């Protein structure tokens, strides 16, 4: 089990922005002349780091720079970092979708990859035909596929549609089938990108369980990229944190998550102007979330949480609206939901005072995801108008923690509903 199954040494990947290749004949001739003389590629000495937020001074970018990783058999390695940090590029190189600019990768055994929705699937072929096609691409023989076929179909949950062309599948169904093929390959190394986020909650739980069986039960290796910190914590035994194409931290999962969350998140407290920095998703501009103000200076486990939420009405609607949202901890784990009573909007700009009562949260840092919706939760007809993630952060300071508050609720995380009350200004 202590055998090193994957070794990455001095791995780097360089891209030229805007064009394919070097872009000029002079650059190509320069590279060729250095190559025939046994010299190093001159363009490997230039280039900016992979920072998508900065302008940069060079047309060359290092998507990855000097990556060194050793993974032992049976380990589940989490790869975390912001968008553009180089996570997917690393997995594509490991899966041989693209090659490295410099460095080497040494692996033992078969690698199975699940990088993007529908990778290796032909839309005109049926689910059954794609199982055989995808299995062959990933290195399975027909005999192996025949032996695993029933398990693959059962695990995917797509049995009813298995003879239907994949082009008629939803993205979630496609991921279910693709993951089932990759998981039942019995690979020595299973490489999974953020693609599982497309699946529903039930399938994500099922997939994480299967990956745990693969790594812990069968002694196989898993490389897992995800922005879901709870999933990373449940599955991975250690993590690496990527930033601007390089490794900035490597260690145990808990330490890696703490480093990543403390160094990459900047959730505002007190007053927060809601804009696109909150990973905003707007489904309609009828009503917009504009600003949220925390009215509490010290939140305790027994006190109410009090927020003023500023709304702007761009299009009048006679239907009632309500505020909905979730409370998450600093590990991005959703603890519970809240729903206000439906109310009418009579002015172009209003302020809704939202109080969340009897929350029973222990000491720690939390944040809100919040939505404005038309409809009523009781009638299951909510239409989300505007939704903002990580809209404001707050801290529960009082150490007078309610004893056994998790047992008191007798529910799993995410199933809890917080009591609320509202006033309209």
* pLDDT tens, residue by residue, 277-311: 655 566 667 888 888 888 776 677 777 888 888 98
**Burial class of residue 180 in the structure, from the number of CB atoms within 10 Å of its CB (0-12 exposed, 13-18 middle, 19+ buried):** buried
CA–CA separation, 48 and 83 (whole Å): 17
What residue spans in the chain does CATH classification 3.40.50.300 cover?
4-9+66-263
Which contiguous run of DSSP H or E holds residue 240?
strand 238-243
pLDDT at 195: 67
Do 31 and 42 touch, CB atoms closer than 8 A?
Answer: yes
Q: Mean pLDDT across the stretch 55-82?
A: 81
Q: Mean pLDDT across the stretch 147-166?
A: 89
Angle between helices 171-183 and 142-156 (to 10 degrees): 130
pLDDT tens figures, 303-338: 788 888 898 888 877 788 888 888 888 777 778 888
Q: What is the CATH number of domain 4-9+66-263?
A: 3.40.50.300
Encoded tokens for 254: 């808990």
User: Does pTM top 0.75 for this prediction?
Assistant: no
Which of left, alpha, beta for 378 (phi over 0: left; psi -120 to 50: alpha)? Answer: alpha
Query: How, if at all, do strands 60-72 and 4-16 pair?
Result: antiparallel
pLDDT at 162: 92
Query: Which one is predicted more confidently, 389 or 106?
Result: 106
Who contacts 233 (Cβ-Cβ below 8 Å, separation ≥6)?
253, 254, 257, 331
Strand partners, 113: 191
CA–CA separation, 252 and 258 (whole Å): 10
pLDDT at position 19 over 70: no
Q: Mean pLDDT across the stretch 260-288?
A: 68
Got the DSSP string for 79-124? EEESTTSSHHHHHHHHTTSS--SEEEEEE-S-EEEE-STTTT--TT
Encoded tokens for 13: 């990947």
pLDDT bracket for residue 412 (50, 70, 90):
very low
CA-to-CA separations, 189 to 86, 186, 220, in angstroms, rounded: 20, 9, 6
Q: Hey, what CATH class is 271-424 in?
A: mainly beta
Encoded tokens for 269: 């407290």
What residue spans in the chain does CATH classification 2.70.50.60 cover?
271-424
pLDDT tens figures, 177-198: 888 888 887 778 888 887 666 6
Sign of CA dihedral 351, 357, 361, 364: positive
pLDDT at 402: 38
pLDDT at 68: 92
CA–CA separation, 413 and 77 (whole Å): 25
Q: What is the DSSP letter of 340?
A: P
pLDDT at 165: 92
Q: What is the DSSP letter of 272?
A: E
SS3 256: helix
pLDDT at position 3 over 50: yes
Encoded tokens for 97: 């979708």
Q: What is the DSSP letter of 228?
A: -
pLDDT at position 396 over 70: yes
CA–CA separation, 322 and 239 (whole Å): 40
Average pLDDT, the chain: 78
pLDDT at 52: 46
Do 235 and 224 touch, CB atoms closer than 8 A?
Answer: yes
């Amino acid at each position: 089990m202590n055998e090193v199954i994957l070794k990455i040494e001095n791995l780097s990947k360089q891209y030229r922005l805007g064009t394919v290749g070097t872009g000029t004949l002079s650059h190509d001739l320069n590279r060729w002349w250095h190559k025939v003389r046994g010299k190093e590629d001159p363009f490997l000495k230039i280039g900016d780091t992979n920072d998508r937020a900065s302008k940069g001074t060079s047309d060359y970018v290092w998507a990855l720079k000097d990556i060194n990783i050793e993974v032992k058999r049976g380990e589940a390695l989490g790869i975390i970092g912001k968008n553009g940090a180089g996570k997917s590029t690393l997995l594509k190189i490991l899966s041989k979708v693209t090659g490295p600019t410099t460095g080497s990768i040494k692996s033992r055994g078969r690698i199975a990859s699940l990088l993007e929705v529908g990778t290796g699937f032909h839309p005109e072929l049926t689910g059954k035909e794609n199982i055989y096609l995808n299995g062959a691409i990933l290195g399975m023989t027909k005999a192996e596929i025949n032996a695993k076929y029933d398990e693959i179909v059962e695990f995917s949950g797509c049995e009813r549609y298995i003879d239907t062309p994949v082009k008629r599948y939803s993205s979630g169904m496609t991921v279910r089938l693709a993951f089932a093929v990759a998981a039942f390959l019995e690979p020595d190394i299973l490489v999974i990108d953020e693609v599982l986020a497309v699946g529903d909650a039930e399938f994500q739980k099922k997939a994480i369980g299967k990956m745990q069986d693969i790594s812990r039960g069968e002694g196989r290796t898993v490389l897992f990229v995800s922005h879901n910190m709870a999933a990373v914590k449940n599955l991975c035994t250690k993590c690496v944190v990527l930033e601007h194409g390089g490794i900035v931290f490597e260690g145990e999962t808990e330490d890696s998550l703490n480093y990543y969350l403390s160094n990459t998140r900047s959730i505002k407290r007190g007053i927060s102007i809601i804009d696109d920095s909150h990973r905003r998703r707007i489904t309609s501009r009828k009503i917009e979330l504009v600003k949220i103000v925390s009215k509490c200076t010290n939140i305790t486990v027994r006190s109410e949480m009090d927020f003023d939420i500023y709304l702007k009405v761009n299009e009048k609607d006679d239907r009632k609206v309500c505020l909905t949202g979730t409370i998450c901890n600093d590990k991005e784990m959703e603890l519970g939901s809240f729903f206000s009573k439906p109310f009418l909007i009579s002015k172009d700009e209003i302020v809704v005072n939202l109080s969340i009562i009897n929350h029973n949260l222990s000491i720690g840092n939390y944040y809100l995801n919040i939505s404005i919706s038309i409809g009523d939760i009781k009638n299951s007809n909510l239409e989300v108008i505007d939704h903002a993630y990580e809209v404001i952060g707050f801290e529960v300071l009082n150490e007078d923690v309610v004893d056994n508050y998790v047992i008191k609720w007798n529910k799993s995380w995410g199933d809890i509903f917080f009591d609320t009350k509202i006033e309209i200004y």
